Structure 1
Amino acid sequence: MRWLDGKNILSNRASHIFYIGPIPEGHIVRHRCGNPGCVNPKHLLLGTQEDKLQDARDRDRFARGEQHPSAHLTEEDIRAILASDEHRDILAKRYRVTSRYISMIQRGVRWSHIVVDHLPEKVRVRRQLAGSGQGHHKTHLTPDDVRAIRKDDRVQSKIAADFNITRQAVSNIKLRKHWRDVPDD
């Protein structure tokens, strides 16, 4: 709707401003009733975008699996992928998706509502070890290497070259995105 100053405004925001009061910067109007078109001031409350996303999760409003508009695979396909011992490149060609997508399914990153109950034992173990960094199948670093990387004040490209890792890996270690459980001595 068009507001007093001639600018367009969502009707729920207009209702909140008119009946309840101004909307602080960085806040949005949420709906207690869960109806996005509702303008009843008794149903409106302020919150953040994170609050709104949590409301959607609580109400199971996110389309997932086969109900997602861009879904290419079915739940049956996912179960077959998880049960297969074939390489992900072969599976990717068969199901007409990328090898990376097959990997994400196998690791439980995609289709997690199905995958969690069907994860192969090796993936479950890898997930349990993932917090340590040493559980990753490609790592060659030790906890002492991680401590040395964190203490090293040189540019990341030099550190990366010395430890045979990427600059991004150095950054992730220094920011404690990876190897979080390794304490500094």
Structure 2
Amino acid sequence: MICKICNNEFEATYKTAGHVCKPCHIELVKKNTKLKKLALEAIQNIKYAEIDGCHVVKTRYIKRKVLGANLYVHRLIARFVKGLNIRGKVVCHSCDNPQCINPDHLFVGSYKDNSKDAAKKGHIRKWVLRDNIADIRKRLKAGETIASIAAEYGVYDTAVWKIKHGVSYANIS
């Protein structure tokens, strides 16, 4: 086999999973250990309030700098405290509180799983139907407020604002 890192030929073993040679595998493990240490140091002093079992921080989805990259704390906790594989997945909150960093409230799922969980709990964002765009533009032109139109259609004000300013649905007349 050819190593994906150094391009040297090697004999695959169970530990290296056939992708990298043993020296490169050992180096990757060392780097991951260093990353884990830095990540744990970065999240160690985060201040939070304990409310209903949640560890609540001041803002949603806080970040910490690790090896020069700004990373989401809840993802760091899921990976390095709980040991979950988060690559290509979303880290969800069983408590539905995006400000919570309690490891016991975090779980990993696909984007589809997250959408299903949100729908089951009634957290689906509503979108403007294409059929309503012309009516919304007409009402905006007549002077009706963004807030009143948004309230009637059950969408966020920003959705109507984006229609008004051509950010969304610009190709629909």
Length-normalised TM-score, structure 1? 0.35
Higher normalized helix content (fraction of residues): 1
Length-normalised TM-score, structure 2? 0.37
Higher normalized strand content (fraction of residues): 2
